[in-house]
Amino acid sequence: MPSTISLKSLASLRMVVGASCLLIPRQAGAIWGVPLAAGGESVLFGRMVGIRDFVLGAYLWKRTAEGEKVWKRVGDSATKSPLLKNSSADVSGIPAFAQSSTADGSQETAMANVRSALWLGLICDLVDVVSVGACWVEGVPISGMGEFCIGGGAVLFSAIAGQWLFAGRRV
């Protein structure tokens, strides 16, 4: 069974950041180095960012927990005959992100579900990194704290996700 500590840490961090932006957007903006302007629009924007990170974190947590169950069961039954494997559930045509890891009980499905959660977060994080860079190139840089928290956080989250996505590809 693969270690899931880094995945659970990433999911937890995403949920904390997301919940803070969702529940206390002005204070969270100040904490993360991006103080929100006066007016309801900036609070709305902060909450939109917050829900994105919270949902990504919750989805990764769910898929990781489901994967752990499958990996534990597969590990416990490694000595059983492959004829006992239950593959009666038909999940063909259902994208990995929409399947339950326990739909067919396979290790491959569990890993595909975790990978889909990681890819969703990785795409958002790479857009965040590019956005911070675009602000700098356009001559409207954000604060140093904002660059560190948003850009650096996105790079860190991308590194954790990338390590998980590409570590299994080594031969």
Low-confidence ranges of the chain (pLDDT < 70): 1-2, 75-105, 168-171
Long-range own/partner contacts, residues 153-159 (CB < 8 A, 24 or more apart): 153/17, 153/32, 153/128, 154/125, 154/126, 154/128, 154/129, 155/125, 155/129, 157/10, 157/13, 157/14, 157/121, 157/122, 157/125, 158/122, 158/125, 158/126, 158/129
pTM of this structure:
0.74
CB 111 within 8 A of CB 63: no
How high is the pLDDT of residue 34? 84
Q: How far is CA 169 from the centre of its chain?
A: 20
Query: Residue 23's pLDDT is what?
Result: 94
Q: What pLDDT score was predicted for residue 108?
A: 85
Smallest CA-to-CA distance from 164 within 7, 58, 15, 1 is with 7
Give the model's pLDDT for residue 149.
87
Contact 54, 22 (CB under 8 A): yes
